[in-house]
Amino acid sequence: MISKSSIIDNLKTLFYALIIALLIRSLLLQPFYIPSSSMEPSLLVGDRLFVSKYSYGYSKHSFPFSPNIFAGRILFSKPKVGDVVVFKTPADNRTDYIKRLIGLPGDEIQFINGDLYINNNQILKTLIQSNDKVFCGNNKIAVNFFIEKLPNGKTYKAAYRLNHGFKNSDKFLVPNNHYFFLGDNRDCSKDSRFLSEVGYVHQDNLVGKAQFLFFSSDYRIGSIFKFWDWQNIIRFKRFFKKIN
């Protein structure tokens, strides 16, 4: 027979474990799942990653359900251009997006003939692979892969659609205390170019910096419960891969 004191001790242990897990999730690391192809080829649908919550300090969005426990951001550390960042979309302050930081407060961003410009300077992009494929939703589109180099020297791989891609835009002037984000899959990403859906992201909406993958599987091939087909479903080579 289980004693009353034993039940109370078990409940206390469970309570303390939940508190510790909540603190780790809120202050240190939080896991996220990639549901879309907007960051291909850097991040694939089915990737699972850890985001460091301490990288940019803390706001209400650092905590589950974004409670109004304080205003603004504490222990703020400015993000760097090229960081892959999880943030709450300004449209609802609830939905998590993950994109690459391209523009800082005061920057001017523009696309001209499919090329990215920051403060009237064209961003160097070097073709590394032509006529390849990436996912856009459940379909594959033909793209060229480029290595882009940002003004601070950060490099990463970006995909540009061969036909019907995003070519030209007006200038985007990033407001104070806001940031401009793009998906690496440039022609299959809802990001700061779409002002009514994402637009400029306030610094308080930053959740954290994407650091590394810890698991990855391709649900399009099959369920991970089909252990006999794990060599095709689970992307073992992506385990513990640092996010560039």
Q: Which residues are catalytic?
A: 38, 99
Give Cα 27 to chain centroid, integer Å. 18
Q: How far apart are CA 91 and CA 59, in angstroms?
A: 17
DSSP-derived 3-state class of residue 68: coil
Of 74, 59, 67, 172, give the one whose Cα is nearest residue 117. Answer: 172
Helix, strand, coil percentages (3-state) for the chain, rounded to 5, are 15, 40, 45
| Angle at alpha carbon of residue 106, lines to 101 and 111, rounded to 5° | 60
What single-letter amino acid sits at 70? F
